[in-house]
A and B are shown apart, each in its own frame.
Chain A
Amino acid sequence: MLLSDPFDALVQFQQSLDAFRASGWLNAGPSAGGSYPPLNVFRKGDDIIILTEVPGVRKDDLEIQVKGNTIRIAGRKAVQYGEGVSLHRRERTSGTFDRALTVPVEIDAERVRAECRDGILALYLTRAEHDKPKSIAIS
């Protein structure tokens, strides 16, 4: 096993985040940067994967909508303690969220896949076939 941190790349990447935000990869949409839930966006081949941390949010309390190349993630997070308990420490937050983001590529709305496991919501966006770059053979 390597001793280096494979996520150094991500850390460095985050340092240049501001540049990325200014690049307009995520357009300043209705509630783009900085709102809950925090998003990480990855590319895998032609496809885009959006990962977000939503610990304590039940699958049933999540709503994902896709229209064009805009994705809406809405839902609510409940924190319950039960009756008659005395609270010593309270760090977890609860409430509702509604966030929309627009990706700068055309996606195939029919093939968007969402998975929620262990508090991570993963959205798999497939790039629309007609939006993919074409290789031009040089004759």
Chain B
Amino acid sequence: MAQSRALEIQEKKELVSKEEKTVPGRYFVPAADIFETEDSLVVVMEIPGVEKKDVEINLENDTLRVEARIDYGKYDGLDPLYAEYNVGHFTRSFALSSKLDQDKIGAELTDGVLTLTLKKAKEALPRRIAIN
């Protein structure tokens, strides 16, 4: 995008879940982009403050579930003076189409952005039919 728009704060969305959390801490729903390329579906999520080792990606019953935990320990000994955003874990689930090859999921974490690449199953790829 060529235009340079001024960025505005996106208020963090708190998780409203059917199941109740029993662990301490508030959960937020990360902002996500979903797009499709020729051979895969890509899900991009913003999870600032989460380290690679604290990201859990689960796939069960066609549901892709991402849980990303921040390390509260990093705030030990820090007294808040002023706050504009809240801090908490992130979680979000996505219902997957069966047309995805669920064995091939690539995950990459860069600068607080998690990119999941889900390959399309072979039968879902477009085929060109030659006319005799």
What's the minimum C-beta distance from A21 to chain B, rounded to whole angstroms? 8
CB <8 Å contact, B8 and A25: no
CB <8 Å contact, B4 and A92: no
B39-73 interface mask toward A, CB cutoff 8 Å, 1 = contact, 0 = none?
00010101111110000000000000000000010
Cα of A65 to Cα of B77 in the assembled complex, Å = 27
| Count of chain B residues with a beta carbon within 8 Å of a chain A beta carbon | 45
Cα of A41 to Cα of B80 in the assembled complex, Å = 6
Is A137 engaged at the interface, CB distance under 8 Å to the other chain? Answer: no
Is B108 engaged at the interface, CB distance under 8 Å to the other chain? Answer: no
What's the minimum C-beta distance from B7 to chain A, rounded to whole angstroms? 4
Choose one: A39, A41, A76, A119; the contact of B46 (CB below 8 Å): A119
CB <8 Å contact, A55 and B78: no
What's the minimum C-beta distance from B87 to chain A, rounded to whole angstroms? 6
Q: Please, which residues of chain B bring their CB within 8 A of the CB of A33?
A: 84
